[in-house]
Each structure stands twice: as C-alpha cells, then as structure tokens.
Chain A
C-alpha cells in the first residue's frame, strides 16, 4: 500500500485520476487514514453533499496480507446524517483486493456537473472512470448481477443502491462478500449519500495479477498470525459463541438484563424476544439448509455470519446481525424472524443502514404511521423508501428527520444518528460512549478492547462508578486504533482475555512493518485519531452540549429496573480530557 489515488469527479472535461505517493499519510490505514485525511483536507463547514467533501476509502493496515481477520474497509467523510466526521467500516472482499493493488486510499473528490452516473474500475493497469447511465436507480442485488456479467466473479464490488443515488441520509455503501452478494455495508452516517452526490454508482476492484502484500519479516509474521488464530479459536466467544450463533446471541441476554429497547425505547424487555434470539435464528437457518456459520470475507476464522433461507430453502439474505434483528424486531414490536430477514434484504438491496432504518420505522410507529408489531406495515414503509416517494425520502433520511417531520418527542438519536440496540438507562456505561463518541451514537465506538492490558491512561478501578468515564475513554481510544488495523472488532474478546493473543496482534503489526510495536504505540495511534476527529467536529461547530443523550433518557424511567440515565453532564465532559 504505497500509493493514494485521488479521483476528481468534478474536473473540467470529466473525472480526472491522480495517483501519488503517501506523503504525510505514510503508514496509515483504515480509520486512521480516513479520519486524518478528512480532518486535514475537508473544510469543516463544507456541505456534506457538496464538492468540498471527500469520500476516503481505505483498507486496514494489515489488509491484503495473509493475516487472518484483516479484511475490514474504512470509508470516511463529513457525514450528511450527523454533520460530524464519519468513519464507517465493513467486511466483504473490497479491503483485501484494494490493498493488494497497492492503494492505501482511494479518494473521491469534487462533484460532477450534470446527471451522468459513473462506475470506477480499478485494476493492475490503473483506474478508469466510465459513464454508465444504464445503472441509474438500480438497487444493489440487480446492480451487482448486471456488473458481474461484464466484470465477472473474481473481483470485489462496492456499490450504492437507489437510496445512495437519491442522497438519503441513511444510505450505505455495499461491499460484496465472497459469494458476490452485496451484504456487507459501510452503513452508518449516510456515506452512501456522499458517494451518490459524487455520482459514483459502483467501484469494481480487480486484483488479477497481484500478490499478497509481503511482510517485512515473513517468518515472524507467519508465526504471529498462527498464534493469533490459535487464540481466536480457543476463546469461547470467538471460537464457539460467535461461530455458532453470531452477534444475535445477545438478544436473550440483553432482554434478560432489561436493556433491550422495545417499542421505541418504551420498555427494556420484549415478551417475544426468544422468537428473535440468535439461538432460534441459528436453528432455523440450519433447518432450512442455510448456514449459521459464514465469513464475510476470506481469511475470517471467527465466521460470525450465516445464510438465512426461506421455508422452501431459497436464499433470502445473509444472517441478520443482532443490531438489525433488534431494530427491525423488538424495537418495532415485531417477533417474526422471516419479517426481519425480508427487511434486512430490503435494507441491503436499497442500500440503507439497518440500524437507522429500523429505528426510523419504530419512530414512525410512534408517530402513528403504523402499529407496533405490524409486520406488513413495516414492510410497506420500507417499500416507500424503495420507491423514493416523498414519505420514503423522509424515512430514508433517518430517525431524527422522521421524528421532526412527524412531531415525535421520543427520538433515540445522538448527533442525529440512531442509537443501537442497548438501552443506556440499563447499561449506563454504554450511554457515556453513545453520548460522547465523535461519530454520533455508535455501538462500535467503544468496543470491549483490551483496555485492561493497554492500561490507557493508567490503572482504572472498574468497580468504582466514577471509573466509567475512564473506561469509556479507554474503550474509544482502543477502538480507534483497532479500526485502523483493518482487523474485525470481534477479535476484541480474545485479545482482552488472553494477553498472548494481544501480543500476537502486536507482533503481526510489528513484523509486517518491520518495527517493534507496543501497547503504548496502539494507545498513541488511537489518541491521534480521536484528537483529529474531535478537532474536526469542534471546527464544524460541535460543542460539549452535543455530547448528550436525548432528554427522555433522563426523564422516563424504563422497566423492569425503572431507571433513568444518571450520568452527570460534567462527568461526560471529562471523557476526552486526557
């Protein structure tokens, strides 16, 4: 990864490609690349859908190597949903393929005049930007099927559906999985709308003729990767729980804890949660000839995904993740996994974030557009988004907009991004991260990384309540660093519990780049990324007053624990005080 491609979509005479060296971005990848570049190069007051915004696409630091779990792709820009800086990442094949072609980043800049739609082909011979108006308003599944006829099955596709073209604020960018299904999405923050604004419908990435990226110290790298994989395989979460049930294994547990937001955050428990659980889902997938264990990219040894078939054994969608099953399920009072799977397929096909869309439908239900628990109505609302009707455009612009248009008070967003599937009144520590992350409410912003091993900012006594601020800070720093490596965040448990697995990760990073990597280096990287993101947001007009949860979390106790969110504003303001 020794070059950066910049594609000026608004250049006079048509899009212009410039390939240059890494310069000040040398050694960066993933979120570190996207956030540092956006912070340095995008005017903080730029309109997110205007020519001044940039869409930075970057494989992780270890993507394209033989290392396991290294296939996450980061996409960054100023978010049209939140107005903040945004990094959204996904699995799929794109990161590996792009990295093998040597690109540390592909940057879409400017904005073309006129109505033409473009596709970008990246291969060993260079980059071509081609007008293809035959793709207009196609959704992701038929779009990829059409592109495959021309470019075949040995490439990776990044595409936007009709939602991205319409510049809806919930629009995602789809990355194809190993079976070339557009199932892995950079979902959060409306990154698909930014790609749509630049009139780019598809990026076709072909690494034919390219080799794996070679490590500086191949032997040490191979050895570290072997230990890393052993660590993942022996840990009960990464070696057993996730492969067997996927992330939806959390449904039963969150419901039991009273932290499963139900009917638009009115209760913390859903009576029919067992019908939606990962255990039920996995059994159904196996019974119908699908699969409960599947990797979103080659090289994943955890394989938390799966294949969801209908009762006749026909493919419906990939295994919906916990957040999706929640947002389209319990959040809307819906308990039918087939309905959730259909909505997941529609999200992927139209190209919208499953969390944002599910939460939005729940808000629409609160507005009286449908009854909670009405499966058919939820599907009808999604069809409005698919058709691009005025109502569909409102819904496709997310929960905050929908709440405003329909006068709903209980709108679960932070910085206008929908909250994921955990009620912060039950799990207060999560609320700290939701409130303060640079990205808007985001469950992955503070992941359970090895902060106890990293000792970010010194030792913390986690059993003290005041330790929650430190925990959230440390989690956010560690997550920013892991997001930069291209590693899937689900490695977190194994590296948290098993110091030797964490050391193996450090050794992979170090031996690949021919340096010695320590925990302190990881902390420094995470802090650098977060500082740049915070600085961008400040210049974009965000203050500490935006680092708050909606008032209803402070005012409305939630069953069964009858608790409100009790963290003080002054405490929240301490999170980034390092």
Chain B
C-alpha cells in the first residue's frame, strides 16, 4: 500500500458478528507478510497454520489465479494474490485440488515454480478465503490485521445493521476509544488513506 496515511483501528466483536466479515475475506484483503519465501513457510511460520491442517483442509490453493500443487516450490512475491479454499465438489472441484488426480485437466493454468529473483523483504500480499476456511482461518487473519482502503471500510460499515453494532463491544481508533456507531461516519477516515483493521473475537464473558 503506497498511500500516505495509515490509521489503526481495533475492534472487539461478539462471535456472532464474524460472518459479517466474510464478504471482505472472500473478496480478498491485504495483509502484511514477509515475501520471498515459499508458500509453505508463509502458511506455517507467518500465518501459524499447522502443516496437518494445511494438508487436510486447505485442499485448493491459487497463487495469482493459478492452482498450485506444491507448497514448497510456490514462491511468494510482493502483491501476490493467494486464495485458500476447502474441498470442492464436482469434476472441476477435483481438478483444482492440490496435487489431485485430475490436475492434468487444468495443466494450462497450473502454477509452476519459477527461479526468478525474489527479494526477501517485508511487504504486503492479498489473501482470499473461501467456504469452510472462512470461519476457520478468518478470525486469525482479522486478529493479525488487514489493510483496507478507507473508502472500502466506510462502505463496509455503512451497510451494517443495528445488530452488528450491538455486537461491537469496543473500538480503539489510533489507540483512543471511540463509540462504535461513529465508525459509520463517512468523514471519519481521511480520503485516500488506508486503515489497518484488527478484529478480536473474545470468548463470551
């Protein structure tokens, strides 16, 4: 993100409101990441996703719209788009599956390892979560923080129901408490700025 100003926003939400964030997560959110490493390391070391979970639950992965078969050989560049999905039905579902029996059927779009020079550095990537992974991995990404253009965040808050705001227990804007309802004010975030949004879902009291 090359925008000048970045605002920090932390929300503490009820579990019931997790689903409200799914549209953002399936469309894709920007997150900070150390790039230049393999997807395997990104998942396991940076995103703390256990290898066993990745093997069993994240059965379909796209890197820049290309299905991947090997986590170890897929190298992450700055601004990479990574989409993670659970198991899919149908022949196409089987075809897209990581290392699956029908992988040849989408050979033309499969991601193949490249040996290009990828600089090892801190940057951002875009991550999309689909289906079963939304409730399972969504909270982790939201807690670690997503970077979102102010306009998009305003549109997100504007459409929210009273129920959503009731589930927002507290909010901190650049470390200052703010009444959650005020977050839907369109002039709250400066134009062209970005917001680093972290959402916690504490267990019920």
7 A–B contacts from the bound complex (CB under 8 Å): A252-B83, A428-B108, A429-B106, A443-B90, A447-B91, A448-B90, A493-B89
The yes or no answer to B184 lying at the interface (CB within 8 A) is no
Is there contact, CB below 8 Å, between B103 and A430? no
Proximity string of chain B (68-93) to chain A, C-beta cutoff 8 Å, 1 when within and 0 when not: 00000000000000010111111111
Q: Which residue of A277, A430, A493 contacts B92 across the interface (Cβ within 8 Å)?
A: A430
A475 touches which one: B60, B91, B130 (CB < 8 A)? B91
**Are A249 and B101 neighbours in the complex by a CB distance under 8 Å?**
no
Verify B109–A257 contact, CB threshold 8 A. yes
What's the Cα separation between A427 and B134 when bound, in Å?
Answer: 26
Give the A-binding residues of B (Cβ under 8 A).
Answer: 19, 22-23, 26-27, 57, 59-60, 62, 65-67, 83, 85-96, 101-109, 128, 130-132, 134
A427 to B93, CA, bound (A): 11
Task: Decide: A274 and B131 in contact? CB cutoff 8 A.
Answer: no
A142 at interface by CB-CB < 8 Å: no
B131, A252: Cβ atoms under 8 Å?
A: yes
CB-CB under 8 A for A250 and B93, given A236-B57, A279-B26, A561-B65: yes
Which of these, B22, B67, B86, B109, contacts A563 with CB under 8 Å?
B109
| Minimum CB–CB distance for A49 against chain B, Å | 32
Given A274-B27, A430-B95, CB of A258 within 8 Å of CB of B109:
yes
Nearest residue (CB) in A for B105 is A429
Q: Within 8 Å CB of A447, what residues of B?
A: 90-91
Which of A429, A464, A563 has a CB less than 8 Å from the CB of B95? A429
Q: Is A457 an interface residue (CB 8 A)?
A: no
Nearest CB of chain B from residue A488's CB, rounded to whole Å: 11
When distances are taken between beta carbons in the complex, the residues of chain B under 8 Å from A304 are 89
Chain B residues with Cβ below 8 Å from A448 are: 90-91, 93-95, 102
Residues of A in contact with B (beta carbons under 8 Å apart):
235-238, 240-242, 244-245, 247, 249-250, 252-254, 256-259, 269, 274, 277-280, 283, 304, 322, 422, 425-430, 433, 443, 446-448, 451-452, 462-465, 467-468, 471, 475, 490, 492-493, 496, 560-561, 563, 566
Q: Which B-chain residue is minimally distant from A425 (CB atoms)?
A: B108
Knowing A237-B87, A253-B60, A283-B22 touch, does A426 contact B103 (C-beta < 8 A)? no
* A452-B101 CB under 8 A given contacts A249-B131, A250-B90, A475-B91: yes
- Indicate which residue in B19, B60, B102, B108 contacts A283 across the interface (CB closer than 8 Å): B19
Measured between beta carbons, the chain A residues less than 8 angstroms from B57 are 236
Taking CB atoms, residues of chain B closer than 8 Å to A247 are: 89-90
A242's closest neighbor in chain B, by CB?
A: B89
Interface-central residue, A250, A253, A462, A475, by most chain B CB under 10 Å:
A253
Given that A244-B132, A257-B62 are known contacts, is A493 also in contact with B106, CB under 8 Å in the complex? no
CB of A314, distance to nearest CB on chain B (Å): 20
B85–A429 touching, CB < 8 Å:
no
CB contacts (< 8 Å) of A236 on chain B: these are: 57, 59, 86-87, 132
Q: Are B22 and A257 in contact (CB under 8 A)?
A: no
User: Known contacts A322-B90, A425-B108, A430-B91; can you find 5 more A-B pairs with CB under 8 A?
Assistant: A257-B96, A274-B23, A280-B26, A426-B109, A492-B89
Which residues of the other chain, B, contact A463 by a CB distance below 8 angstroms? 103-104
Residues on B with beta carbons closer than 8 Å to the beta carbon of A249: 88-89, 130-131
Known: A257-B62, A274-B23. A471 touches B132 (CB 8 A): no
From B23, B96, B103, B109, give the contact of A280 (CB < 8 A). B23
Least CB distance, A273 to chain B, in whole angstroms = 9
CA distance A436 to B101 in the complex (A): 21
- One of A256, A468, A496, A566 near B62 (C-beta < 8 A): A256
Nearest CB of chain A from residue B167's CB, rounded to whole Å: 14
Q: Is the CB of B87 within 8 A of A493?
A: yes
* Residue among B86, B105, B128 with the highest chain A CB neighbour number at 10 A: B105
A455 to chain B, nearest CB (A): 12
| CA–CA, A451 and B100, complex, Å | 13
Cβ-neighbour of A253 out of B88, B101, B104 (below 8 A)? B88
Given A257-B67, A561-B65, A237 contacting B105 (CB threshold 8 A): no
How many angstroms from the CA of A563 to the CA of B92 in the assembled complex?
18
**Minimum CB–CB distance for B148 against chain A, Å:** 15
Q: Could you say which residues of chain A place their CB within 8 Å of the CB of B108?
A: 425-426, 428, 561, 563, 566
Write out the residue numbers on chain A whose beta carbons fall within 8 Å of the beta carbon of B85.
252-253, 256
Complex contact A237–B92 (CB within 8 A) = no
Establish whether residues A257 and B106, one from each chain, have CB atoms under 8 Å apart when the complex forms. yes
State the Cβ distance, A244 to closest chain B Cβ, in Å: 7
A447 to B92, CA, bound (A): 9
For A236, the closest partner residue in chain B by CB is: B87
Contact status A252-B128, CB under 8 Å? yes
B3 to chain A, nearest CB (A): 22
Among candidates B67, B89, B104, residue contacting A241 with C-beta atoms closer than 8 Å: B89
Residues of A within 8 A of B109 (CB): 257-259, 426-427, 561, 563
CA distance A464 to B27 in the complex (A): 33
In the complex, the chain B residue whose C-beta lies closest to that of A561 is B109
CB distance from B152 to the nearest CB of A (A): 13
Cβ contacts under 8 Å, A467 to chain B: 104
Among B23, B89, B128, B131, max chain A CB count under 10 A is at B89
Please judge, given known A-B contacts A241-B132, A274-B26, A471-B102, whether A427 and B87 are in contact too, CB under 8 Å: no
- Is the pair A490, B89 in contact by a Cβ cutoff of 8 Å? yes
Max chain B C-beta neighbours (<10 A), residue from A245, A257, A496: A257
On whether the beta carbons of B106 and A241 are closer than 8 Å, the reply is no
Task: Select B86's contact among A241, A443, A566, beta carbons within 8 Å.
Answer: A241
Chain B residues, Cβ within 8 Å of A433: 91
The 8 A-B pairs of least Cβ separation, nearest first, read A429-B105, A448-B94, A236-B87, A448-B91, A274-B27, A252-B130, A237-B87, A256-B83
Contact, CB under 8 Å: B131 / A471: no
Chain B residues near A259: list those with CB within 8 A: 92, 106, 109
Query: A280 CA to B22 CA in the complex, in Å?
Result: 8
Q: Using Cβ atoms and an 8 Å threshold, which residues of chain B touch A464?
A: 104
In the bound complex, residues from chain A placing their C-beta under 8 Å from that of B131 are 241, 244-245, 249, 252, 278-279
Minimum C-beta distance from B138 to chain A (A):
11
Alpha-carbon gap, A452 to B101, bound state (A) = 8
Q: Report yes or no: A252 in contact with B26, Cβ–Cβ below 8 A.
A: yes
- In the bound complex, what is the Cα–Cα distance between A422 and B105 (angstroms)? 12
Residues of the A chain whose Cβ atoms lie less than 8 Å from the Cβ of B102: 429, 448, 462, 471
Query: Please, how many angstroms separate the alpha-carbon atoms of A422 and B108 in the complex?
Result: 14
CB-based nearest A residue for B100: A462
